[in-house]
Structure 1
Amino acid sequence: MARPRTVDREYILDVAEGVAAATGAAGLSFGAVAAAAGMSKASVQSAFGTRESLIEAMLDRWLAQETARFTAKAGESPSLKVRVLAHIANTSEESEVSMQRAATLLACLAGSDSQVGAVARWYTTRVGDLSVRNDEERRLRLAFLAAEGAFFMRYVVGYSMCTERWSDIFEDLTRMAGEPERKQDRQGRRKQL
């Protein structure tokens, strides 16, 4: 009796990412992935069960890869400032393909509660609950939110932005997040510490 053929989930995830990048969220189906992978639709479906499970696996893999890059920049127990600066750097340096993949996965999640919690937890580990105690934390919160806004404008909404403009924005955000805290001197002028 022949052994059942095993399905390589990582290979299917690679193919699914390619399908999603080429066709967008609407084109991501078991049939499309199976055709691109050169296997039966049943084989793809047996590996993931549902389209939502496939999307969850794709998102989990992207989050793990992004988190590994982030940790390499920020270290194991970074301060808020280091976390925000590492996040800005990660977002700025991420490849177009990876950013489009992330945007497609987020679009696939729209209207689905299945992985929204994972994304919310990812944000929480990155910046906490967005509460602030001082001006520096307020500036860091704004820089983080601006980086996310730039990502959404360019990759989710499709706002046209050249590479030079993208780099310029992230240089500004890096400066904004990296500014040292300032205090006022006795005459009410702000001075750098």
Structure 2
Amino acid sequence: MGRKQTIDRNAVLDAAEKVVSERGIGALTIDAVAKASGISKGGVQYAFGTKDDLIGAMIDRWEAEFDAETAALRNGDETAQSMVQAHAEATRHFDEASVDRAAVMLAAMMQDKDRLARTRAWYEARLNAIDTSTEEGRRLRLAFLATEGCYLLQSFGFMPMDEAEWQQVFEDILKLAGKG
């Protein structure tokens, strides 16, 4: 009797990211991911179910990676200021993969009301951690919103910035958040 094959979900997610980065969100199909990961279409479906479930798993992994990065940057500091500074620092390290991720996330949210609700809850939790009854809290909220605005504008190509300008903007955001 043969050994039961296991599918490395992370390897399949890596393959899905590669499909999106090389060919765009429209090319993300179960078949394309199967070919890119070297497994059968049924193997991808066994590991993730539907294309929507695959996209959800991609987003969950990205969110976990981002949350882990911000937690490491906070180094145990649970203040709102630390949260906003870490969020800006993590976002500052934007790369081309982030553009692809933003496109996948937007497409997923347009089709999945539960995903949209979870994303809203994620933002709400961060914004609710900021005491906006103080001047400092209002600056932190503005820094958080500026961080997200820059990320989205850059991700969707609405306002491309070269690396020098990107870094300069984030220096300003971090100063607004009380760093430096």
Match of 1:69 in 2: 69
CA distance in 2, matches of 1:179, 1:68: 21
% of aligned pairs identical?
Answer: 35
CA distance in 2, matches of 1:130, 1:55: 31
Match of 2:140 in 1: 140
- CA contact 1:21–1:104 (8 Å) conserved in 2: no
CA distance in 1, matches of 2:67, 2:169: 22
Does 2:178 match 1:178? Answer: yes
Q: Summarize the Cα distance change of 1:166–1:159 in structure 2 as closer, same or farther, 3 Å threshold.
A: same
Which is worse superposed, 54-63 or 158-167?
Answer: 158-167
- CA contact 2:25–2:100 (8 Å) conserved in 1: no
Deviations 1:39-79 (A, max 9, x none): 22111111111111101111111111111110011134521
Match of 1:19 in 2: 19
Does 2:157 match 1:160? Answer: no
Which of these two proteins has the greater Rg computed from alpha carbons?
1
Structure 1 unmatched ranges of 5 or more: 181-193
- CA contact 2:70–2:86 (8 Å) conserved in 1: yes
Show the 5 A alignment for 1:17-96: 17-96=17-96
Match of 1:150 in 2: 150
Does 2:101 match 1:102? Answer: yes
- CA contact 1:55–1:108 (8 Å) conserved in 2: no
**TM-score between both structures, scaled by the size of structure 2:** 0.89
CA distance in 1, matches of 2:174, 2:153: 18
CA distance in 1, matches of 2:160, 2:72: 30
Match of 1:188 in 2: none
CA distance in 2, matches of 1:116, 1:76: 29
- CA contact 2:88–2:170 (8 Å) conserved in 1: yes
Q: Summarize the Cα distance change of 1:160–1:65 in structure 2 as closer, same or farther, 3 Å threshold.
A: same
Runs of 4+ residues over 4 Å off in structure 1: none
**TM-score between both structures, scaled by the size of structure 1:** 0.83
Q: Which has the higher helix share?
A: 2
In structure 2, give the amino acid aligned to 1:48: F
Match of 2:120 in 1: 120
